[in-house]
Structure 1
Amino acid sequence: MSTPTPAGPATARPAQAASRTARRSAALTAAALTTMAATVFLAPAPHAAAASSGPVESAPARIAVAELTSGGPGSLTAIPDDFAARFGYRPGTLDGLVVNPQGDCSSPVTLPAEFDTACKAHDLGYDLLRYAEEHGEPLGPWARQALDATLDRHMHEACGSRADTFSRARCETMATIAATFVDLNSRRQDYGAPVTETLLGTADPGSTTSWQLLGILGAGVTGLAAALTLRSRTNSTAAQGVQG
């Protein structure tokens, strides 16, 4: 009489394969989103501020940006004295960072709530770039690059507050996508003073580029979310199969 073959491993193998497929789908979705973003953003921006090659930089703005991007919390005392009169708000502190209290993570899709403080700090940094530009002493590319890198770091650090591994990974994926779009838009504008725009670079809500970005980002993130959801479900199915 033949001995029955245990069903556990055989049942788990298809589920494990499906899980691997889901992970590959998530990675491919993120890669495709980045590639499509590059197609949109690396085209010349007709309304982008031209980068200045002049050697003179605004000393107050330079000091303030250096404070914001130094790895510390920043300093309110470094903000130029006439900044509030020009931009209509006084910078404040939130969660240990110097921020624009009125700033937000404006984007075509909902970003994790944990990014709010990082976005407010980034908004303040961009206003400092505009401050320097309006005074005829624009900061060099280093300033916008440093601000974007700081936003990237703050968003990923914010994801660390999530206890669940899967939720944290999803948050970090969104941080990477958002940071990629910000950097691509900055490249498109030659790392000069930013035009009035949302976090993800839609300078004119009625422009063709804006609607292209909205469609690309929405479709890409939707696809990524679907792939991650599939992964979660297949993992659950695999676990149930092994237990059975």
Structure 2
Amino acid sequence: MTKRRKFLIASFVLSLGFVGIQFLDNPYKIDAIFVLSLVTSILFLWSLWEGIGKNSTLLTLILPAFFTGGVGVFWFLLPSNVFARLPMIIFYGLGIYALSLTMNVFTVSAVRTIALLRAARGVGFVLTLITLFLIYNAILSLKIPFWGSAPLITALSFPLFLQGFWTIPLDKKISKDLLILSLVSSLVVGEISVSLFFWPATLVVGSIFLTVAVYILLGLGQAKLEQRLFRQTVREYLLVGILVFIGMFFATHWGG
């Protein structure tokens, strides 16, 4: 069976899984999403079996599983009608297929360089941001105190930072520098989430702000790993952060 056919099967099966979750009672839906995330990893392992070994190529299983979990928890925030949820199922299926192609490029590029690598990095970068936005949105919607939400945000950000940074060197072993960079970036996002507890920002604005922080940290980190961390690059990323902060300031209702 060709890889492309495996990718299509995985996308179809996982999309059906999301449809099936809707027929479960609410107490079982969270568990079902967790199971579906595990199934995502299993299906991706099956699809990418030829390129995955007992090394850092296993990191390619992280983003698909988190993408499933992110879409799953965001699902609960959607209106319970077909017009809101059908587009999300379509988006999820297309996202899984795009991730299949992207992770395949990474596993192949870990052995030899191919022309599609830069495009795959771009797709992976965008899907990482989307995934974390959905996860942050779900966490902030719980309205738990910052001493609970900040560690959770830090812990969930770390694997995605690690996978995102790894896509640059694509080494078979995870270096100490990669771990430190991922840990520091995750801690920074966690600290920023603490500030949101004292900022009367809306759920969406807060989620966007955290996602932009990931955009800056992941972008600068990848540029550093590529040895392309020029002043102009830093200015561009910081400019985005400043503009988002200004927009967040004016979008906040300060009147209480």
- Structure richer in helix, relative to its length: 2
Relative contact order higher in (CA < 8 Å, ≥ 6 apart) = 1
- Specify the structure having the higher radius of gyration (Cα): 1
TM-score (norm 1): 0.35
Q: TM-score, normalised by structure 2?
A: 0.33
